[in-house]
Each structure stands twice: as structure tokens, then as C-alpha cells.
């Protein structure tokens, strides 16, 4: 499961950073607003490993967005292990299981490839163009749009905020090129030691509360729904008196 999103635009202006200032002497910025251009960040994020793929751009028309996504998704799929081979009816049922309850369902072709990836996207119009959706399906990718899978897309937005703050806080870019260079360099540094993300939303909390109401069994990871009754075993003298 991967998530994709676009962040920005980021202006080529000084960004606030953390630091110490003398009391009553806050840091000030020029009062003029000079336009030096903006940049955006295209993102693909894999929460299970924490790895992120970043591309800095100055604009995001469909030809730029789709071209980058196709290139990155091909590379990701090429690194995945071979999918299990299912007979056509079982394979179609597997695809259709991800569309249960949706009011608008994907048009699935007669010959479906093995399902290999879930891609979480927002409702940007470019994400729903028929040609792009057909390409995703042909590669074995199921696109899931928010609000379905919204909590997973939130993780992509979270890592974007981390990358942005690390790259730009306290910096003074002179143009979009600086912003793009710093964003992509920060992403490379993040991928050197990625941090996996784990879902902890309302469903996770409900499952945790349900687990906490159960009773662990000593010596294993098993639990019981009610406590085990321990029977009192009298000692030998007590048995003789009885």
C-alpha cells in the first residue's frame, strides 16, 4: 500500500525557524513581498517501511504528475516479488473485493492482471482521468480515493510536513531551484534511516480497548474473553477431614 499526494506551493521567501532571541526583540522580516517563484512537492509514501519518493516541480499539470507517477510506480512494481497466480474467477473476485460498498466502481477489463498494489489518492481531478485509471489497472494497481483510506493518506501528508519543515525552516531560498534541491536532499536523508508509520486511528483504539478487556494467558500470546476460574485444591489433611 502506497499513498500519493502533492504539497505546496512553497514560496521562495524566508521561512521561520526556531532559535533564541532577546526579549522584546523578535526576529523581523522584510516588509516587501517579492515574488521569486514557487515550487511543489510530488510524494509517494510507503507507511510500512517509511520510505518516501519525492519530486520537486514548479507546476503539476497532468503530463507532469502522471509521467512521474508512472515512472515511480513501474520502479516499485519491478522490485516487488512475483504475485501468486490465481485462476481468472478468483483473481476478479479479489479485485472486486476492494470495491464493495463503493457508489462509483472502477471499470474492470475482461482480462485482469494480478493485483499487486493499493494506491491511496485524493480526489484531484487529474487522478481520475480515464486514461490514467486504465493504466493503473493494467499494472495491477487499485486506486482508492478519499475518504476511503483517508487515514492512510493522512500519513502521506504527515511525512510531507516533516520533509518540508526539515528542508525549509530557517532557510531563505532565492528561487524554486533552491526549494526543490533542499526538499529532494532532505528526502534522501530521510530514506537513509526511514521511520515506518503505524496506524493509530479510531479503529486502532477500538481494537486496543477490546484487547484490553480480555485476559492474557500466561506463557503465550493467547487471551480469553473472561477470566479463567482457578479451582481451589485442598491440601492432604483438609481432604482427610472432608
pLDDT at 144 over 80: yes
Q: Which of 3-7, 18-22, 106-110 has the lowest mean pLDDT?
A: 18-22
Position 214 confidence tier, pLDDT thresholds 50, 70, 90: confident
Position 76 confidence tier, pLDDT thresholds 50, 70, 90: very high
Position 123 confidence tier, pLDDT thresholds 50, 70, 90: confident
Q: Which residue has the higher pLDDT, 229 or 209?
A: 209
Position 148 confidence tier, pLDDT thresholds 50, 70, 90: low
pLDDT at 16 over 60: yes
Give the count of alpha carbons within 13 A of 221, CB side only. 0
Position 203 confidence tier, pLDDT thresholds 50, 70, 90: low
1 neighbors 165 (Cβ within 8 angstroms): no
* pTM score above 0.85: no
The whole-angstrom separation of Cα 162 and Cα 187 is 10
pLDDT attached to residue 82: 87
Domain boundaries in the chain?
Answer: 2-192, 206-241
176 neighbors 60 (Cβ within 8 angstroms): no
Average pLDDT of span 101-117: 84
- Residue 50: CB atoms within 10 A of its CB come to 16
Position 31 confidence tier, pLDDT thresholds 50, 70, 90: low
Task: Return the C-alpha cell found at 38.
Answer: 514557487
Secondary structure element (H or E) that encloses residue 120, with its range: strand 117-121
pLDDT attached to residue 221: 61
pLDDT at 235 over 90: no
CATH number of the structural domain 2-192: 3.30.420.10
The whole-angstrom separation of Cα 121 and Cα 95 is 18
Residue 122 burial (10 A CB sphere; 0-12, 13-18, 19+): middle
CA dihedral 1, 145, 142, 53 (to 10 degrees): -40
Q: What is the mean pLDDT of the chain?
A: 82
Amino acid at each position: 500500500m502506497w499513498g500519493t499526494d502533492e504539497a505546496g506551493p512553497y514560496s521562495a521567501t524566508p521561512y521561520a525557524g526556531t532559535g533564541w532571541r532577546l526579549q522584546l526583540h523578535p526576529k523581523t522580516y522584510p516588509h516587501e513581498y517579492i515574488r521569486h517563484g514557487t515550487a511543489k512537492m510530488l510524494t509517494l509514501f510507503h507507511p510500512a517501511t517509511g520510505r518516501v519518493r519525492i519530486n520537486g516541480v514548479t507546476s503539476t499539470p497532468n503530463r507532469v504528475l502522471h509521467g512521474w507517477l508512472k515512472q515511480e510506480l513501474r520502479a516499485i512494481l519491478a522490485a516487488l516479488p512475483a504475485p501468486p497466480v490465481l485462476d481468472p474467477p478468483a483473481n476478479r473476485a479479489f479485485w472486486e473485493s476492494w470495491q464493495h460498498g463503493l457508489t462509483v466502481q472502477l471499470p474492470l477489463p475482461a482480462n485482469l492482471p494480478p493485483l499487486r498494489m493499493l494506491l491511496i489518492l485524493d480526489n484531484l481531478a487529474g487522478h481520475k482521468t480515464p486514461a490514467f485509471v486504465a493504466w493503473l489497472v493494467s499494472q495491477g494497481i487499485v486506486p482508492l480515493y478519499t475518504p476511503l483510506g483517508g487515514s492512510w493518506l493522512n500519513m502521506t501528508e504527515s511525512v510531507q510536513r516533516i520533509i518540508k519543515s526539515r528542508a525549509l525552516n530557517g532557510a531563505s531560498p532565492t528561487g524554486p531551484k533552491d526549494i526543490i534541491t533542499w526538499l529532494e536532499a532532505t528526502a534522501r536523508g530521510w530514506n537513509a534511516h526511514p521511520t515506518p508509520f503505524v496506524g493509530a486511528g479510531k479503529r486502532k483504539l477500538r481494537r486496543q480497548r477490546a484487547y484490553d478487556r480480555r485476559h492474557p494467558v500466561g506463557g503465550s500470546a493467547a487471551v480469553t474473553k473472561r477470566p479463567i476460574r482457578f479451582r481451589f485444591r485442598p491440601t492432604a489433611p483438609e481432604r482427610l477431614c472432608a
